[in-house]
Structure 1
Amino acid sequence: MGKHYRVIQWATGNIGGRALRAVIEHPGLDLVGLWVSSAAKAGQDAGTLAGTAPQGIVATSDVDALVATPADCVLYMRQGTDMDELCRLLASGKNVVTTRGDFHHPASMDPDVRARIEAACQAGNSSIYSTGSSPGFVTEALTIPLLSLSRRHDCLTIDEFADMESRDSPDLLFNIMGYGVAPTAFDQRKVDYVKHDFAGSLAQLADAAGIAVDRWEAFGEMAAATRNVTIAAGTIAAGTVGAQRITISGMQGDKAVLRFRANWYCTRDIDRPDWELRESGWRIRVEGDTPLDVHITFPVAPEDYAAFTPGLTAHRAVNAIAAVCDAPPGIRTTADLPQIIAQLG
């Protein structure tokens, strides 16, 4: 990184808070602004919110003030995507790196929304890029080089495993995600949400590699616990939902050629042994003339897991700032950006 980039951090939730600290500690980045949604955080020093020394940057909810603040990049990590807000930031000349999944595949976007974003990029000579760990790293940055070993492609399957046994979030697990209740029809809204982000990311890969996809299919499944299980958030009774799976498939005729499966579970003792649940991480299988089977796990103690996981998503976004700032204006993708290399010194 040959120069410093001025950065505005947009939101300080689980991911945004980690990104804020990473920006403060990064040798090539200068924090120049901080947007927060909470009135309780507004007015606080960024260092206080990040757990560092004071930075002299005061958190604010004033969008107008931040649009007027000179900056090279905005790390956009708020809950929900505000297209009006993004257009203002881009038109003001600020590049945007976001962990929102709306921009992985420009061709899949609503045409009117895409036109507005592209027009804002042209007006501000700016770029916007969606990334993160999943989707992003595991669906694009890792799979593109894996496929570079092949000359015949049959299918790429990404299995993501998330063990939630140590997560002490009863409301999230039981009331929102639906664990510990009798299995019923899968919530289609949850399926559609996962499909939006992951089909877009895999469609980018398909376009880049010349893999023909006729349509995208998505469905959800539930598996019941086979015994009573006590987890950090409470109890999963035998016969109630202990694991869930959402599968997104890019189809070529009646055959899947790209596939992502989200395997989320509170116990591995379930009535679906064919799911082969593994410890948290990813398994990527390439089928073709150069078959591969890649396993990634996270060697982190359960008590440290909550502090570790935000970095998986936040750090790639921080590391992408230089590449996006130096890219041509428009909606950028992993396929058209240079390789993102972390600057660690």
Structure 2
Amino acid sequence: MTPAPARGHRVVQWATGNIGTRALRGVIEHPNLTLAGVYVHSPDKAGVDAGVLCGLAATGVTATRDADEIVALGADCVLYMPAACDFDEVCRLLESGANVVTTRGEFHRPDSLDPGLRKRVEAACERGGTSIHSTGSSPGFITEAVPLVLTSIQRRLDRLTISEFADLSQRDSPGLLFDVMGFGKPPAELDERRLAHGRISFGPSLELVAEALSMPLDSLEASGEVATARNTTRIAAGALEAGTVAAQRITVSGVRGGRAVLRFRATWYCTTDLDASWDIRDTGWHVAVEGDAPLDVDLRFPVPLERMAATSPGYTANRAVNAVPFVCAAAPGIRTSVDLPQIIATLG
């Protein structure tokens, strides 16, 4: 089902962090979307014009911290982008008649949800006649949209491997790199649970693609590993001492018949001067398809590292904005990349 591109949709932006701010700008500048409202968490942002929040001219729409005001708007869709998913909020929005597009990862595959939560969300969709869809760049675009396109020219798939690379050396975010991600710490101090989070973040996408290809997985395997700096080096966030964590890699494998048929591997690094011989590439993605029509695809981000922090939110936010009309046109329920048609951007 393809929505009529000329029809406008009234959209609310929920949360204005890095991704949300970029999405807000995308809605304001979109030819077929109208900004209906903005929900913010910070008292400093409440009452501020939406245009000011994202570096544009004033729009006449001011941000609010009152969820009742948002629900009362009767918007067609809410771009839901908070730091954590509140299922009470989500269900209230869906029941009110607002479709939801989110960069939260909880809804990539309905079967991956807790059964009780899934039932509750689907009931809210039925009551509101609405749908909800999770998307973004990773997971989303690279773990679902791209694999589904590349496998469309296969008749035999032996393995599909997605490799993600992120050079964080110029990311001036000490709190994120050192405190949250654990760079600069002795390897023994890094929380192994954080390295193994890939099963939750990327596993649902692999299962979704496998099921779409009629190749359901027998199991998911996830692991994490680190490499340390051979020499002390200075990155934008501060000093990275020799012998401390300088690179991290997580691998999630979808196993079928005793072998990995789908695999996602993320490598995040602050220097290439490592104590391990890893395949390190520039920031971007590499997709290898092994089958009867083999493919080797590089998708690199041609952006200077010092501009990456300002540019990268668009990779996630833009796909969510572009998905709005397709989700609004979808049947009620949790809608995946397999349920929806190909997301085509309206750029004119």
Q: Under TM normalisation by the shorter chain, which class is it?
A: over 0.9
Partner of 1:320: 323
Percent of residue pairs bearing the same amino acid type = 58
Match of 1:243 in 2: 247
TM-score normalised by L of structure 2: 0.97
Alignment correspondent of 1:54: 58
CA distance in 1, matches of 2:189, 2:208: 30
1:214 maps to which of 212, 218, 239: 218
Map of 1:80-119 to 2, 5 A cutoff? 80-119=84-123
In structure 2, C-alpha distance between the alignment counterparts of 1:201 and 1:340, rounded to whole Å: 17
Quick one: which amino acid aligns to residue 82 of structure 1? Answer: D
**Unmatched tracts of structure 2, length 5 or more:** none
Task: Spell out structure 1 runs of 4+ moving beyond 6 A.
Answer: none
Q: In structure 2, how many angstroms separate the alpha carbons of the residues matched to 1:179 and 1:128?
A: 35
1:192 Cα deviation after fit? 4.6
C-alpha spacing 1:186/1:248, structure 2 compared with 1 (3 Å):
farther
Query: Partner residue of 2:310?
Result: 307
Q: Secondary structure at the match of 2:111?
A: helix
1:251 Cα shift?
1.2
| Alpha-carbon distance in structure 2 between the residues aligned to 1:30 and 1:192 | 40
Distance in 2, Cα, partners of 1:151 & 1:186? 42
Match of 1:75 among 79, 84, 87: 79
For 1:101 and 1:9, locate their aligned partners in 2 and report how far apart those are by CA, in whole Å. Answer: 17
Q: Which amino acid letter does the alignment assign opposite residue 261 of structure 1?
A: R
What is the aligned partner in structure 2 of residue 11 from structure 1? Answer: 15
Indicate conservation of the 8 Å contact 2:107/2:113, yes or no. yes
Q: 1:343 aligns with which of 324, 342, 346?
A: 346
**1:229 corresponding residue in structure 2:** 233
Pairwise CA RMSD: 1.1
Determine which of 15, 33, 39 is the counterpart of 1:35. Answer: 39
Q: Which SS does the other structure have where 1:315 is aligned?
A: helix
Task: Answer yes or no: is 1:182 the counterpart of 2:171.
Answer: no
Question: Could you say if the C-alpha distance between residues 193 and 67 of structure 1 is closer, same or farther in structure 2, counting changes exceeding 3 Å?
Answer: farther
| Whole-Å separation in 2 of the counterparts to 1:30 and 1:308 | 24
Q: Deviations over 1:234-263 (max 9, x none)?
A: 121221111000111111243111111110
- C-alpha distance after superposition, 1:41-60 (max 9, x if no partner): 11111111111111111111
User: Does the aligned pair in 2 maintain the 1:186–1:221 contact within 8 Å?
Assistant: no
**CA-to-aligned-CA distance 1:147-172 (integer Å, 9 cap, x gap):** 11111111111110000000011121
Q: Any idea what SS the aligned residue of 1:277 has?
A: coil
Partner Cα separation in structure 1 for residue 230 and residue 290 of structure 2: 33
Equivalent-residue separation in structure 2 for 1:170 and 1:308 (angstroms): 19
5+ residue gaps in structure 1?
none
Letter aligned with residue 130 of structure 1: S
